[in-house]
Amino acid sequence: MKVLIVYAHEEPHSFNAALKNTAIKTLEAAGHSVIVSDLYRMKFKAVADGEDFLERRDKHYLKRQLEEKAAAELGTLSHDILTEQKKLRDCDLLILQFPLWWFSMPAILKGWVDRVMAMGFAYGGGQWYDTGGMKGRKAMVSVTTGGPDFMYSPLGRNGDMDKILFPIQHGILYFCGFEVLPPFVAYSPAHASPEQRDAMLKNYGKRLATLETLQPIAFHPTHHFDERMQLKPEFQS
Ligand SMILES: Cc1cc2nc3c(=O)[nH]c(=O)nc-3n(C[C@H](O)[C@H](O)[C@H](O)COP(=O)(O)OP(=O)(O)OC[C@H]3O[C@@H](n4cnc5c(N)ncnc54)[C@H](O)[C@@H]3O)c2cc1C
Q: Which residues of 50-68 are buried (b: 16+ CB within 10 A; e: fewer)?
A: eebbeeeeeeeeeebeebb
pLDDT surpassing 90 at residue 212: no
Candidate of 9, 10, 13, 15 to mutate for ligand 1, largest count of ligand atoms within 8 Å of Cβ:
15
Domain-by-domain residue ranges, the chain? 2-235
Class of domain 2-235: alpha beta
pLDDT value, residue 237: 82
* pLDDT tens-place string over residues 61-98: 999 999 999 999 999 999 999 999 999 999 999 999 99
Cβ proximity of 139 and 171 under 8 Å: no
Q: Which residues of 201-236 are buried (b: 16+ CB within 10 A; e: fewer)?
A: beebbebbeebeeeeebebeeeeeeeeeeeeeeeee
Residues with CB under 6 A from ligand 1: 9, 11, 13-16, 18, 99-103, 144-147, 189-190, 197, 201
Which of left, alpha, beta for 44 (phi over 0: left; psi -120 to 50: alpha)?
beta
* pLDDT band at residue 145 using 50, 70 and 90 as cut-offs: very high
* pLDDT tens-place string over residues 47-65: 999 999 999 999 999 999 9
